[in-house]
Structure 1
Amino acid sequence: MLTLIKAHGSENQFFLLDQSQLTKPLTTTELSRTTRHLCHPQTGLLDGADGLLVIGSNPACLGTMRVINADGSEAKMCGNGLRTVSRYLAEKSGKSRFQVATLEANLDVSRSASLAPNVPAFSVQIAPISMAAATLPFAYHQLPELFNTAVPEFVPNQTFTAIAVPNPHLISFVDQIESDVLGDLGQRLNTPNPYFPEGVNVSFAKVLGPNRLFVQTYERGVGFTNACGTGMSATSLAFTMQFPTLFDPASDLVVLNPGGLVKTHVALGKTPATSTLRLIGNATFTAKITLDESDFRAGNFSTVRIETTDEEAAYQAFVHHAKRSVL
């Protein structure tokens, strides 16, 4: 029998698959096909999800994480997802601090104090960081990087900053977030375009006050999500550079999103690449799904057994109280 976990970080929804349970690990092609079916809101389980997080083994770390988006593409990293994988590995191993291998880096993770009763939390490193156009990759008038720069081809009268962490992000601080404008730009930059040949996650952010932000993200390979962990992390770094008088380096940033809120910690280095980022937030398990491995491989979910938890109600109560206190 195989057990999947339905989980979320700031309502960024995932299924967790530990490949060690399988008689034979799924190939990349099989993972892509399975994810598209599993995460689809109509054909999948429990109204689908934003992606599948695939947990494996690595001799240098406690475990590995691969991120398969809902459309079957693979992302380099997922900050919200890493918190849920960290919780899974912590409970499996009994450890509270360790490393998880992602596609580009081995990242430090640790258990944090619960945000509220029955709302477990984890702190995860977000790295590596780069603003180099070649790294993102990005091209606009041969600029070596994009920082607080007007790009009228994107949206008139807005400035943009591009940061890879390592997923590529395009960030714009605005007085008011217009979801239709964000959605249009996100769609344009994630179809063939001359600026981001591999697509990009697009975030609009509103500054709420010192160390306070609201961020909404259109994610590459997914579309609108309730939250994007690497997007909130990249936006936090951009905020510290663009609004230095509103940044208190001694305190965490509080970042609100449509799915709740997280905290980020930014330690600025001499360059963005030498800065450090940490993302702190919930790791909520909402259901455990049990099924035969053969059915899972065949995409047959008709015989699954689902055991829900009471963690979602606790998370929603936390979000309601926390947003009232922040706003």
Structure 2
Amino acid sequence: MSIPAPPRRRFSKMHGAGNDFVVLDLRDGAPPPTPAEAARMADRHRGIGFDQLLTIEPPATPGAVADYRIWNADGSAAGQCGNGARCVAAWLRRNGTARAARFAMGSPAGRIEADALDDGSFRLAMSVPVFAPARIPLVAPAEAARYVADGPFGVLAFGAASMGNPHALIEVAASASAPPGSALAAVDAAGIGAWLQRSGRFPDSVNVGFAEVLAPDHIALRVFERGVGETLACGSGACAAVAILVRQGRVDRAVRVDLPGGTLHIDWPSDDAPVSMRGPAAFVFEGEWWDEGTDAHG
């Protein structure tokens, strides 16, 4: 008796400033991967490897050329991903689905406007930042520019916002006697990030950013993402960081954000405007995945 072959999935491997993705086209009605399959695909030794999985789906958002969904490396669903959104935009342009230089996409957090720029980068109008604790969600008695958590790492002051997914931001004080960015590099991002995620302050967990302000228009940023761990870049984290720091009076409304994997340019024109993000999107390779459970191959 022959054993049926596992289903095959064509995929594109992409990255935005080092934040890497697998893109699946599900517009033919194919089901999305189960959480277990997504986690196997994410395995960097036995699978393809990625920070997030992106599924392209038929447009359900008015005016959008396509919708997309986001899955973390542990198989959990995500609400937004700025670097992933740029990769989706680049994929739709190369595929021919988005023929115009300006087009709209539907995301789990709502409609996103995309512009394909002449230098190959993409500019996206993300959502308007949300600071109300109940909508982040964050357990806090009232909305504030800064909150405090006391734990094994001492008293941590942090800002919080939602960009369609929850973010906390801890500012790292620059050292006058050390090169710019060195204080940020020394931070225990995994330890602090994992503790804050488990602290109970964020009922849906949280992406934890660590920022060092280098100038009013320039910051360095690291992000420990929920369901993934620290990544080379986080687009929604960069948007949230700038919005939080603007609200705290620490930076201007147009900021260069240097992440371990590259640079993003973030603009927040006014409090009621969407945050704009500009950055790269790159294709790495194409492939075919077939799932054989714990013995998966890619």
Query: CA separation in 1, counterparts of 2:37 and 2:227?
Result: 15
1:253 alignment counterpart: 255
- Report the CA distance shift for 1:301/1:267 in structure 2 as closer, same or farther (over 3 A): same
* Pick aligned residue for 1:289 from 283, 287, 290: 287
Contact 2:208-2:223 at 8 Å conserved across structures: yes
The residue aligned with 1:135 is 135
Instruction: Pick one of 203, 226, 246 that aligns with 1:240.
Output: 246
* Partner of residue 188, structure 1: 195
State the partner residue of 2:56: 55
CA distance in structure 1 between the partners assigned to 2:67 and 2:114 by the alignment: 12
Give yes or no for contact 2:167–2:237 (8 Å, CA) kept in 1. yes
- Structure 2 CA distance for partners of 1:181 and 1:145, relative to 1, 3 Å: farther
Is 1:146–1:160's contact at 8 Å kept on the other side of the alignment?
no
After superposition, the C-alpha distances for 1:90-141 in whole angstroms (9 at most, x for unaligned) are 2222222111111131111111232xxxxx211112214211111111113x
Give the conservation status (yes or no) of the 8 Å contact 1:214–1:256: yes
Residue number in structure 2 paired with 1:309? none
Q: What is the CA–CA distance in structure 1 between the aligned matches of 2:106 and 2:26, rounded to whole Å?
A: 15
CA distance in structure 2 between the partners assigned to 1:34 and 1:149 by the alignment: 38
Task: Please give the TM-score of this superposition, normalised by the length of structure 2.
Answer: 0.86
Task: Check the 8 A contact 2:197/2:206 in 1, yes or no.
Answer: yes
1:197 Cα offset (Å): 1.4
Matched, 1:15 2:18: no
Deviation larger for 151-160 or 67-76: 151-160
The 5 A counterparts of 1:146-295 are 146-153=144-151, 155-156=153-154, 158-175=156-173, 176-177=183-184, 181-191=188-198, 193-243=199-249, 246-247=251-252, 249=253, 252-269=254-271, 274-290=272-288, 295=290
Distance 1:263 1:186, change over 3 A: same
- The structural deviation recorded for 1:289 is 1.0
Amino acid of the structure 2 residue aligned with 1:98: F
RCO higher in structure (CA 8 A, sep ≥6): 2
Q: TM-score, normalised by structure 1?
A: 0.79
Show the counterpart of 2:126: 126
1:34–1:297: 8 Å Cα contact kept in structure 2? no
Compare the two structures and name the one with the higher helix fraction. Answer: 1
- Give, in whole Å, the separation in 1 of the partners of 2:41 and 2:276: 30
The answer for the alignment partner of 1:105 in structure 2 is 110
CA distance in 2, matches of 1:253, 1:127: 17
Gaps of 5+ in 2: 1-7, 174-182
Gap change, CA 1:299 and 1:66, over 3 Å in 2: farther
Structure 1 unaligned blocks of 5 or more:
115-119, 305-327
Instruction: Return the alpha-carbon distance in structure 2 between the equivalents of residues 127 and 206 of structure 1.
Output: 24
RMSD: 2.2
Equivalent-residue separation in structure 2 for 1:17 and 1:154 (angstroms): 41
CA contact (8 A) 2:128 2:275 kept: no
Give the aligned residue type for 2:168: L
Report the AA paired with residue 130 of structure 2. Answer: S
